[in-house]
Amino acid sequence: MSATADGGLQQVVAGALPDAEVVRAWRLLGGISAETHALEVREAGGTRTLVVRRIGPGSLAFDPRAAEHEFAVRRAVFAAGVPTPEPLAWGDAPWPHLLLTYVEGAVEARAAPLAAGVTQLADRLARIHALDPEPLGFLPPYAAQVEALLAARPAQLDAELLEPELRGAFEAAWPLASRNPVRVLHGDFWPGNVLWREGALASVLDWEDAALGDPLGDLAVTRLDLLFVAGAEAMQAFTARYAEQSPLDLTQLPQWDLFAALRPVPHFAEWAAAMPTLGREDLTLARMRELHRWFALQALEAHSST
């Protein structure tokens, strides 16, 4: 941790907890859109661990009030009983940030434990989608993410990943006349954003992509990510459990699967490069592309049958 960061972290804590002292701080792994540090803080009653998330420039360019808005989302989610770090404060000095409680746990990316935990994953996602969206009306529409992806059409489409077919089918179907009410979406609900402790789901992380829209958008993205890390059987078990827990119309899931398949096409090299940090050296770029092609084919077939 740099001296500049150290001073900034002290300022963040002092702004929210004037009588607290930062004993030590360390950078937490992960996080592209935000820089995250854990802090050991000494107070009158003893010491505890907190987390400071420094909001990244990308999020601020999209929403100058990103810290305030993410705090509001986290507060609503925490109050609703979704396991997630408790938000303690937000601020803009010395830079936009959130101050959160620290949750013990670890990211789980091994196939067998994830397959055993799909019921918990599905139940948590269904609980998020059951939140009242009214107090969070400031959240961006998920449709804006869809349209941004469609607008960023590359000059050369990836034929091996069936990008021409996927784009053609999804563009013809979009915009979708949703059969479901607008709900709060996590925006990136995948195993890398979930902490586990002793086999139990301990915390859902990273709410900066939260949006309002059709919950099937979230569901489809999670399905593909589970296919990558846990396999087709776990993906289907997750989907079946979610359907049991959520009163949604799944008729348009094939169309949202098309979108989920389009979403990672420009990022495969980056995603594959991150897999060894999760202990998944087996998930090479070639293997992920193979799994993606299978998912794309089943999405195209299901779409053509509707």
pLDDT tens figures, 247-281: 999 999 999 999 999 999 999 999 999 999 899 99
Claim to verify: residue 66 and residue 175 sit in the same structural domain: no
Where helices occur in 197-263 by DSSP H, the ranges are: 215-230, 232-245, 253-262
Claim to verify: residue 66 and residue 151 sit in the same structural domain: no
pLDDT digits (tens, 9 = 90+) for 1-40: 333 347 899 999 999 999 999 999 999 875 556 789 999 9
Listed residues 37, 68, 101: the one ending a domain:
101
Claim to verify: residue 222 and residue 115 sit in the same structural domain: yes
Claim to verify: residue 259 and residue 285 sit in the same structural domain: yes
CATH number at residue 69: 3.30.200.20
The pLDDT mean for the chain works out to: 93
Claim to verify: residue 65 and residue 187 sit in the same structural domain: no
Structural domain of 285: 106-304
pLDDT digits (tens, 9 = 90+) for 176-215: 999 999 999 999 999 999 999 999 999 999 999 999 999 9
- Write down the pLDDT at residue 1: 39
120, pLDDT greater than 70: yes
Tell me the two tokens of residue 229. 């890390």
- Cα 81 off chain centre by: 18
**Packing angle between helix 215-230 and helix 253-262, nearest 10 degrees?**
60
- Write down the pLDDT at residue 2: 39
Claim to verify: residue 189 and residue 209 sit in the same structural domain: yes
CATH number at residue 216: 3.90.1200.10
Tell me the two tokens of residue 259. 């979108």
Helix (H, G, I), strand (E, B) or coil at 197: strand
Claim to verify: residue 145 and residue 258 sit in the same structural domain: yes
Claim to verify: residue 200 and residue 64 sit in the same structural domain: no
pTM of the model: 0.92
Claim to verify: residue 61 and residue 153 sit in the same structural domain: no
With bands split at pLDDT 50, 70 and 90, how would you rate the model's confidence at 50? very high
Burial of 78 (0-12, 13-18, 19+ CB in 10 A): middle
Contact present, 252 and 214 (Cβ < 8 Å)? yes
Claim to verify: residue 196 and residue 297 sit in the same structural domain: yes
Neighbours of 256 (CB within 10 A): 26
- Write down the pLDDT at residue 4: 39
Claim to verify: residue 64 and residue 116 sit in the same structural domain: no
Closest to 50 (Cα-Cα) out of 14, 78, 81, 76: 14
Torsion angle of the four alpha carbons 125, 231, 263, 176, in this order, in degrees rounded to the nearest 10? -60
Claim to verify: residue 219 and residue 280 sit in the same structural domain: yes
